[in-house]
Amino acid sequence: MNSPKKDGFHPAEFLIWLGELMLYLCKGLRVGLRWIYHNTLRHYKRRIVVLSKRAFRRTKRTLQHFWQRLTAPFHKTADGWRVVRQKMILTKGQPFRVRMNTLSDAMQDGFHTNAGLVRSLFNLCLPLLAAVVLAVVLVVVSQMNSGVNVIYNGQVIGVVNTEAQANQAIRMVQSRMVLNEGDDVFTFEPTYSIDYVDSSAIMDEYQLADEIISLSGDSIAEGEGLYVNGSFFGATQDLGTIQPVLDDLLNSQRTGAEDEEVAFAESVEVVTGLYPTANLQDGEDLAAAITGTTQEDTYYTIQVGDTPSGVADALGIDYDQLLALNPGCDQPQNFIAGQQLLVTKAVPVLSVQVTRTIQYQQEIPYETETTNSSLYLQGTNKVTREGQNGLADVTARATYVNGVEVSRTVLSTTTIQEPVNEQVTVGTGTVDVSSGGSGSFIWPMSGYVSSEYGDSDGRSSNHRGMDIARYGGATGAPIYASAGGRVIYATYNSGGYGRLVKIDHGNGVQTWYAHCNTLLVSVGDVVAQGQQIATAGSTGNVTGPHLHFEVVVNGVKVNPRRYLP
Ligand SMILES: [Zn+2]
């Protein structure tokens, strides 16, 4: 459809057309009303007709009255024309000037006697005229569109929506043309004009690109090209080559999981169009390029004196990245001169991104609860209950790029087994060695002192401990830690002590428990003051069952009496 602007506006033609239209509308209205009356109202049931007859007749009369008023101006106008025509018939055969005067007089008479009629005709027509003009404008506008003419050498070669689209088409052409080194860059500088155009004439950038290529004069052929993230990758004349290659790449990452999403990480587009024949490659070559990599793996050979961080610095890559490419290379046994380090990893041309729901079990780490206790010396931590990890069923949504997980969102976690928290007793107790008899030690066994520190009893000229025995025999009597500390010795001693326990209390203080029957602790155990560590006996160099108890301060065996309450 052509624009009225282009053709010019002819008021006379338009008015004639408008008059015809209005007469037609009036006729149609009358016919339509009559049709409605004959086809619907007439067939109403008698009762309804009787009941509504009066109202109907009144309505009909009103409508007829309204219709007469509505059509009266037209009837009068028609009558007026009939009068004018009769007057003109009477002047038949008379000179032209006379006839024109008669016509003029008759029409003036008509207008004078019917001034009101002209006004009411005008009033009646004005809204109709406005409605018709609006309809015409709507019809024209709906088929017209503002577009950009792309003009080259004085000729419109295409129409697009925006100038940016045209620029994109030119870039597309350039990317299709410039493949060989040394070739001149294709230039194309059209002019633009904005115009109202038919919507169906507007092209997209691909169609315009084809138009431009066909103007370039080069040898061109139909082909299909691959665009990755909007950049031209390559084209082939073997139509239907690219899509199966893309499908295979996607399918290779599918596992068939129900809600799996498999797509290229890049935006990938196959464009069929005109390409310079020089830039079209064999279908197999293009397929190989698409499934290939953008760069190969590269390596660095470790030199004598190199360090992992030094190599990363020298190569200008991130140290963490080097570690990720070469797991364990920060360990000396894995970083040996002459070995190769992976420096850059091959990157596929197209990355396939897969998102799927995964289910797995995960340990729930236990927590540690601590309790303070003066029964243990400061600096000691006694595990009173071992912690145990719990277990949970986890459902997560994981995303992989080329098979490597890049993100994971946990959807739900169901605990199968609750973790058992570890309980640790932290020692707050102190041993005061500077002031003897402070009361920070307790008696290791109940009984009587059968031999004091320093006694000469025949077995040893200088007794370095205190012997505790029981009437009726001490064998099996419980021996308790005199103070909290760590067991540093718990075995048979062949030097005469028999079964011996040594406890280190820190600050250079130790207590020794000799001649035991059974040992209830092991080296490394942390014991609290008053905790049973052994039973008394008669192992080693003894004459009868008893506990030989020693207190050692900074390697010197001192009199236990100084510390016992
Ligand atoms: Zn003794």
CA of 454 to the centre of ligand 1 (A): 10
CA of 463 to the centre of ligand 1 (A): 6
- Exposure class string for 404-420: b at 16+ Cβ within 10 A, else e: eeeeeeeeeeeeeeebe
Pick the CATH number of 297-345 from 3.10.350.10, 3.40.50.20, 3.40.50.360, 3.40.50.1260: 3.10.350.10
Structure-token pair, residue 74: 């037209």
In angstroms, rounded to a whole number, what is the distance separating the alpha carbons of residues 217 and 203?
Answer: 21
CA of 467 to the centre of ligand 1 (A): 5
CA of 502 to the centre of ligand 1 (A): 15
Closest C-alpha to 517, from 468, 486, 479, 480? 479
CA of 370 to the centre of ligand 1 (A): 39
What is the per-residue DSSP string for 325-357? HSTTTTSGGG--TT-EEEEE--EESS-EEEEEE
* Ranges in the chain, pLDDT < 70: 1-12, 37-52, 114-115, 117-118, 121, 140-144, 177-186, 216-218, 431-439, 456-461
CA of 468 to the centre of ligand 1 (A): 8
Structure-token pair, residue 79: 């009558």
Pick the CATH number of 431-562 from 3.40.366.10, 2.70.70.10, 3.30.300.90, 3.40.50.720: 2.70.70.10
CA of 376 to the centre of ligand 1 (A): 27
In angstroms, rounded to a whole number, what is the distance separating the alpha carbons of residues 169 and 546?
Answer: 105
CA of 39 to the centre of ligand 1 (A): 135
What is the per-residue DSSP string for 420-433? BPEEEEEEEE----
Helix (H) or strand (E) run with residue 34 in it: helix 11-39
CA of 504 to the centre of ligand 1 (A): 20
In angstroms, rounded to a whole number, what is the distance separating the alpha carbons of residues 369 and 311?
Answer: 45
Structure-token pair, residue 558: 């001192």
In angstroms, rounded to a whole number, what is the distance separating the alpha carbons of residues 413 and 214?
Answer: 61
Dihedral over alpha carbons 504, 510, 513, 518 (to 10 degrees): 10
Q: Which residue has the tokens 């004078």?
A: 112
CA of 472 to the centre of ligand 1 (A): 18
Structure-token pair, residue 86: 């009769």
CA quadruple 205, 210, 216, 219: dihedral positive or negative? Answer: positive
**Residues at Cβ < 5 Å from ligand 1 ion:** 465, 467, 548
Report phi then psi at 206, rounded to 5: -70, -40
Q: Helix or strand or coil: residue 288?
A: helix
Pick the CATH number of 353-425 from 1.20.1250.20, 2.20.230.10, 3.40.50.850, 3.30.499.10: 2.20.230.10
Judging by DSSP bridges, how do beta strands 231-236 and 280-281 pair with one another?
parallel
Q: Which residues contact 425 (CB under 8 A, 6 or more apart)?
A: 370, 371, 372, 373, 375, 376, 381, 382, 384, 528
CA of 371 to the centre of ligand 1 (A): 37
CA of 540 to the centre of ligand 1 (A): 11
Q: How many CB atoms lie within 10 A of CB 515?
A: 27
Closest C-alpha to 446, from 487, 472, 466, 474? 474
CA of 283 to the centre of ligand 1 (A): 99
Report phi then psi at 138, rounded to 5: -60, -45
Q: Helix or strand or coil: residue 304?
A: coil
CA of 462 to the centre of ligand 1 (A): 10
CA of 444 to the centre of ligand 1 (A): 14
Closest C-alpha to 79, from 105, 100, 110? 110
CA of 545 to the centre of ligand 1 (A): 11
Task: Give the chain's largest Cα–Cα span.
Answer: 181
| Residue 7 confidence (pLDDT) | 45
Domain limits, the chain:
4-142, 147-293, 297-345, 353-425, 431-562
DSSP for residue 162: -
| Residue 412 confidence (pLDDT) | 93
CA of 451 to the centre of ligand 1 (A): 7
Q: What is the 3-state secondary structure (H, E, C) of 382-420?
A: EEEECCECEEEEEEEEEEEECCEEEEEEEEEEEEEECCE
CA of 439 to the centre of ligand 1 (A): 22
CA of 453 to the centre of ligand 1 (A): 8
In angstroms, rounded to a whole number, what is the distance separating the alpha carbons of residues 540 and 547?
Answer: 11
CA of 546 to the centre of ligand 1 (A): 8
Residues facing 223 on adjacent strands: 273
CA of 342 to the centre of ligand 1 (A): 69
CA of 465 to the centre of ligand 1 (A): 5
What is the per-residue DSSP string for 1-18? ---HHHH---HHHHHHHH
CA of 378 to the centre of ligand 1 (A): 30
CA of 523 to the centre of ligand 1 (A): 23
- Beta carbons of 117 and 77 less than 8 angstroms apart: yes
| Residue 418 confidence (pLDDT) | 94
CA of 542 to the centre of ligand 1 (A): 8
In angstroms, rounded to a whole number, what is the distance separating the alpha carbons of residues 71 and 80?
Answer: 14
CA of 344 to the centre of ligand 1 (A): 74
CA of 527 to the centre of ligand 1 (A): 23
Report phi then psi at 284, rounded to 5: -65, -40
- Beta carbons of 153 and 189 less than 8 angstroms apart: no
- Beta carbons of 370 and 340 less than 8 angstroms apart: no
- Beta carbons of 508 and 433 less than 8 angstroms apart: yes
Closest C-alpha to 468, from 382, 395, 406, 560? 560
CA quadruple 53, 57, 63, 64: dihedral positive or negative? Answer: positive
Q: Helix or strand or coil: residue 125?
A: helix
Residues facing 420 on adjacent strands: 388
- Whether the model clears a pTM of 0.85, i.e. scores above it, the answer is no
